[in-house]
Amino acid sequence: MEKNKIMQDKWVDFDFNLNNSPITTNLIEDALNKFWLENIVSLEVDPFFLIQFKIKDPQQKYKSISYVQTFNVKDYNLSLDIFI
């Protein structure tokens, strides 16, 4: 239950290192799976969450590469369909 309190109404930054690789559908799927396993699967509630993919450029500035998408936890497969 403590994790739910931490996650509720909070923005959670999630980093996924590309290791200078081009962004591919496999890497996007890997990032979504890792985020899901580390942050969402163990929640005991049925929350909505927002996802927006961003990259960090060489000057350490973040740039959005997707629109913000809202999902219910039950819609995980939908998130794969939208981003991949």
* pLDDT tens figures, 16-43: 888 888 888 888 888 888 888 887 777 6
* Torsions phi, psi for 29 (to 5 deg): -65, -40
- How far, in Å, CA of 60 to CA of 39, rounded? 25
Window from 15-19, 30-34, 59-63, 80-84 with minimum mean pLDDT: 80-84
Report field, pTM of the whole predicted structure over 0.75: no
**Predicted confidence band of residue 4 (pLDDT cuts 50, 70, 90):** very low
CB atoms closer than 10 angstroms to residue 69? 15
19 three-state secondary structure: coil
- How far, in Å, CA of 84 to CA of 76, rounded? 12
